[in-house]
A and B are shown apart, each in its own frame.
Chain A
Amino acid sequence: MNEKIMLVDLSKCTACRSCQVACKNWNGLPAVPTINRGTYQNPPDLNAQTYTLIRFQEIEAKDGAIKWLFRNDKCFHCTDAGCMKACPVPGCITRTESGAVVLDSTKCIGCKYCYHACPFSVPQFDAATEKMYKCHWCHDRQAEGRIPACAKACPTGTIQFGDKDAMITLAGKRAKELGGDASVYGEKHLDGTHVVYVLTEKPEVYEKLPVNPKISPLIFLWKDVLKPFSMLSFLGGLGACALYYLIKGPKRPKFEEGGEKHE
């Protein structure tokens, strides 16, 4: 399978939320009880039963002009994926050929490292199962030659799914067409995310969207410096002891009188 990109052109999103429902439908995810909190956005955030969410955001300019932004939020399927880096379980978070970062919840031990290592805070913990869950890009559908459920359900062409190069070209073309503050988001971040936005506003305008998403240097320090160093420390200690034992041997007490100081 070729490497794929999911292009999310926010200029076309009408917040019909078919993606949100189609995702739950395909993945058999239950609805969670919600209340109206003074916004259309529900559930309030991604959760273990909600892999994709439309975020609603109202912006009022000084002249009274209003913008109502809708953003389809879900896993970005980063090439440099923080979650993969952090996950302690071999084979729990893997990458498919198309670029999906798949979290196998059956293997998850609930340590939540992935959530903290993710620049977008995507993976979500379920207290009942003690496991993390997130969008898996419908890798099961992809394996059968189908496109992800959200892309399939989207009526307006906001979510498009296709070969990497074609989608990147399309994204660039679209951003140019839209002009103004429009830009492509994701293509250059984290070695290229597999979900790429065409934003209509500057990235900083969007709530919960990092302007320059990066895996925290703390994660690098943890995983790339201190982790190997821990092993080094352990092996070093072991080696030093072995060497000492071989060269100098044990320090035995002298039971013959007066011998203690003349060893």
Chain B
Amino acid sequence: MTNHWIDFRNSDCILVMGSNPACNHPVSFKWIQKAIDKGGKLVCVDPRFTQTAAKSSLYAPLRSGSDIAFLGGMIKYILENNLFFEDYVRQYTNATYLVNPAFKLPGDNDGVFSGLTGTKTKEGYVSGKYDRSTWSFQMNEDGTAKKDPTMQDPNCAFQLLKKHFSRYTVEKVVEITGTPKDKLLAVYQAYAVTGKPDKAGTILYAMGWTQHTVGVQNIRAMSIIQLLLGNMGVAGGGVNALRGEANVQGSTDHGLLFHILPGYLKAPAASMPTLADYNEKNTPKTKEPKSANWWGNTPKYSASLLRSFYGAEVPLDAAYGYLPKIDDGANYSWLTIFDKMYKGQFSGFFAWGQNPACSGANANKVRQALAKLKWMVNVNLFPNETGDFWNGPGMNPAKIDTEVFMLPCAASMEKEGSISNSGRWMQWRYKATNAPGEAMPDGEIISELFRKVRELYEKDGGPVSDPILKLSWDYGKSFDAHTVAKEINGYFLEDKEIDGKLYKKGSLVPAFKFLQADGSTSSGCWVYCGSYTADGNKAAKRGKDDPTGIGQYSNWAWAWPVNRRIIYNRASVDISGKPYAPDKPVISWDGTAWKGDVPDGPWPPLASETDGKLPFIMKPDGVASIFGPGLADGPFPEHYEPLECPIEKNPMSPQFVNPTVKRWENDGVPELDKRASCDPRFPIVCTTYRVSEHWQTGVMTRWTPWLLELQPEMFVEMSRELAELKGFKNGERVMVKSARGEVNAVAIVTPRFKPFTIAGQIVHEVGIPWHYGWRYPNPDKKELRSANLLTPSIGDPNTMIPESKAFMVDVIRKEGK
């Protein structure tokens, strides 16, 4: 989130799309309700009428996987009706930048941007890759981009945006989304109102946007809208991902994903053999005089991270050498891991706090892949479907050699530490009780595991042993969360004088601006530098004061970066530092200093001749991207159909599916990575979601009787029309089938789902929750009940997040009934 949960209350229009906070983020509704109480509007766009829709003043249905069409139409609406915040767009975005004249839009290029190479089929390009050289700006002699402040030049980003989305007419959008025209326009109108300088609109999205082959572009589309309306950096605005897990923000911050190190530093690649290469390649440069270009500090953060890993004794270059390097362009995300596992490229696997036999897309492939392992360690609170995979429905234990170890671990209330919520608040939690039996906190398990591995290396040696033997691991015998938290914050490794002040060796670094590239500081995750300082553990702060009056609560916990509650907050003020929304100012410039939230850097407002800075400090040029050349699949979002869809042609262009996605049905395991698009056997769109009462694959909740009582079984929700067509009664036991698997469920026949009219044909959609499995309840039934048995192996080209929100199924009467 750019903003935070409490900030929802400042919004004038809350657009909920790709999420269902009433159901899945119940506490957020406290703040959404406060916005409504103050006259704010809640708008919900979703394939089905959700609990959030029930509380919205406006609801519009759309077919799963058609969000870009919906949002593209909104961009067109905003631009054509001059509802955008012109000053904001001109001053704070790259709308004025002139783009390479060789750049081509999909409308002029068979549905793809210029530079695509790949195999062309009757569905358009498949598994293509963009040469992004034309996605560039025209440059001045001084190395800055050419700009047209009037935004009239046909090559300027603004005009290209306008041209690109001129194809997204209301008629075209309705044809793709199936949204009734009046509802579509009502949503556009309601949201576009927030383009007024003192109005703020926010978007609350979740996995309903990310789990698509165009997941990143869904969010890009909304980001563009937020920039056009001047909603970034302001109170009640922003682009807000409602994270699906209490600490998923924290785990991402700390480098959970394969392509990043802690603090969003890029993962080293084979083409960067030295630290200097790494820094050179990953430190953006700019000639824009007013750009802060904060990522310019990358060398300080990479050096501090290496110091945190290997201590002061190992030279930085050597330490960098110890880090594993990924092959350039290689992808080691979820789908790849299990594909390689299936192909026998793994011998062991730690399933740590996860349940891939239920949570992985195309879970039948995952289950087969697990059977190829020599060993698996299942670290969890409860024995789950993954640990028990060899005994699952359709598996033959006699033929599976995988040795499975169960390590019981402590639950969150059985250990101390911090979690970081979606609003980037690092909040300290205390231990309430001891873990039962032999269960241990994860930190202790990891610590002990590492010590054992190191002992083996010490005893037996081995290739590349230094990264293990020299790793700094001063945590002692028992794991202490405070020691780790301090390590994450970072230390001065030698006496250092900065701005006339001496910082002693061994003292905690007060903030990341003090981190050094010369190896004199350490920090385990630079964005958290400042969280645990000489002033104490700031995550444990519990101040309830709110002098800002807009719900910042700056003394409650600590938000990265540097306790900034709303990031890009310099965009909430005009160039002289005056808040656009005087009744809910995030920051304001009183002539000498900033008041309010921690500003995005200490510099005076943009208007200051000498050292004014542009607001988007993490962007090299200091401006936000209307034209975003950094992504794999295009500088503007473009509608492509999901991998599996009910219609034969993309109504928008000859290019059917996102041309840059990796096609597993060709490159994976063809007999398992099946695809069935426009297949009469699977005529119904299916989407997945959650219920309030269960969490993830239900390992923590299915075993909790009070929650299971409320939502006891796998179900499939469908319209009355579809039920009538199929002859299903409400509450009847049915089976949902896709090209990859089948799932038992109870039919919930409801008016909350309605058939869509897509490109002139009636399209039915059903929805299933993904919390169920087969190990509990009713383990003796051996029925498959996990939604992911149906979902396809296909991921977004940027993130490889699987497309579990839009795929094709059929629903049949359960056999033997």
Contact = CB atoms under 8 A, between A and B. Distances in A.
A235 interface: no
A12 B54 CA distance: 10
B706 A68 contact: no
B749 A38 contact: yes
Contact of B731 (A16, A17, A37): A37
Contact of A14 (B23, B691, B752): B23
Interface stretch (B24-32, B92-100, B513-521, B673-681): B24-32
Interface stretch (A39-47, A186-194, A238-246): A39-47
Nearest to B750: A58
A58 B752 contact: yes
B811 to A, nearest CB: 14
A34 B715 CA distance: 14
B50 to A, nearest CB: 8
A60 interface: yes
B23 A35 contact: no
A16 B54 contact: no
Interface in B722-754: 729-732, 746-752, 754
Contacts of A58: 750-752
Interface in B648-700: 691-693
B751 A60 contact: yes
A38 B730 contact: yes
Where chain B touches its partner, the secondary structure class is mixed
Contacts of B731: 36-39
Interface in B572-589: none
Interface in B16-45: 22-23, 26-27, 29-30, 33
A36 B715 contact: yes
Given A25-B706, A38-B731, A38-B749, A14 B29 contact: yes
Contact of A156 (B33, B49, B732): B33
Contacts of B22: 14-16
Given A14-B23, A17-B710, A68 B51 contact: yes
B54 A67 contact: yes
Interface residues of B, number: 40
B497 interface: no
Interface in A21-75: 21, 24-25, 30-40, 42-43, 58, 60, 64, 66-70
Given A38-B731, A38-B749, A67-B54, A17 B27 contact: no
A68 B710 contact: no
A203 interface: no
A39 B708 contact: no
Size bin of chain A's contact surface = 20 to 34
Contacts of B148: none
Contacts of A38: 729-732, 746-749
B464 to A, nearest CB: 51
A66 B747 contact: no
B713 interface: yes
B53 interface: yes
Contacts of B550: none
A216 B71 CA distance: 57
Interface in A141-179: 155-157
B424 to A, nearest CB: 21
B713 A35 contact: yes
B26 A68 contact: no
Given A14-B22, A68-B54, A21 B710 contact: yes
A98 interface: no
Contacts of A124: none
Nearest to B21: A14
B719 to A, nearest CB: 11
A20 interface: yes
A16 B751 contact: no
A2 B637 CA distance: 60
Given A21-B706, A58-B750, A34 B712 contact: yes
B29 A155 contact: yes
B752 A66 contact: yes
B261 to A, nearest CB: 36
B813 interface: no
A12 to B, nearest CB: 5
Contact of A31 (B29, B709, B746, B754): B709
B127 interface: no
A18 interface: yes
B748 A68 contact: no
Given A36-B715, A38-B746, A38-B749, A18 B709 contact: no
Nearest to A21: B706
B706 A31 contact: yes
Contacts of B691: 40
B55 interface: yes
A208 B732 CA distance: 24
Contacts of B393: none
A28 to B, nearest CB: 11
B713 A155 contact: no
B705 interface: yes
A14 B55 contact: yes
A39 B715 CA distance: 9
B49 A66 contact: yes
Contacts of A25: 706
A156 B710 CA distance: 19
Given A38-B730, A58-B751, A155 B706 contact: no
A60 B729 CA distance: 18
Contact of A36 (B29, B51, B746): B746
B706 A24 contact: yes
Nearest to A58: B751
A17 B713 CA distance: 17
A39 B54 contact: no
B706 A18 contact: no
Contacts of A156: 26, 29-30, 33
Contacts of A39: 730-731, 748
A35 B712 contact: yes
B711 interface: yes
Nearest to A64: B754
A60 B714 CA distance: 25
B711 A30 contact: no
A35 B732 CA distance: 11
Contacts of A32: 709
A25 B707 CA distance: 11
Contact of B51 (A14, A30, A31, A37): A14
Contacts of A37: 730-731, 746
Contacts of A35: 712-713, 746
B51 A15 contact: yes
A36 B713 contact: yes
B710 A42 contact: yes
Contacts of B751: 58, 60, 66
Interface of A: 12, 14-18, 20-21, 24-25, 30-40, 42-43, 58, 60, 64, 66-70, 155-157
11 contacts: A14-B22, A14-B23, A32-B709, A34-B708, A36-B713, A37-B746, A38-B731, A38-B746, A38-B747, A38-B749, A67-B54
Given A36-B715, A40-B711, A42-B712, 5 more contacts: A33-B709, A38-B746, A58-B752, A156-B26, A156-B33
Shortest 9 CB-CB distances between A and B: which pairs?
A: A38-B731, A38-B730, A16-B26, A31-B705, A31-B709, A14-B22, A68-B54, A36-B713, A36-B746
